Amino acid sequence: MHTCLKVLPLALASLPAFAVELSQQDLGTTGALVSSCAGMATGAFPVEGGLFDWRAGLSNCNAAMTTTPGQQLTASGAYNQAAPSVQGDAHGSATYGSVGMYAHFRANNSAGFAAAESTAGWTDTWTLMPANPAQIGQNAVVNFTVHLEGVLDGLPIGNSYTRIGTVVWLNNVPGQNFRAQGQGQGGFPFHQVIDQDLNFSVTVKLGTPFELGIFSRASAGVAGAGPNWFSEASSDFASTLTWQGISGVSVAGNSIGYTLSSQSGVDWTVAYAPVPEPSVALLLSGGLLALALRRRR
In this predicted structure, what is the pLDDT of residue 280? Answer: 41
237 or 226, which is more confident: 237
CA–CA distance, 164 with 174 (Å, rounded to integer): 16
Q: Is the pLDDT of residue 277 over 70?
A: no
Q: pTM of the entire structure? A: 0.88
Query: Mean of the pLDDT values across residues 52-67?
Result: 96
* Percent of the chain whose pLDDT exceeds 90: 80
| Rounded Cα–Cα distance for residues 35 and 216 (Å) | 11
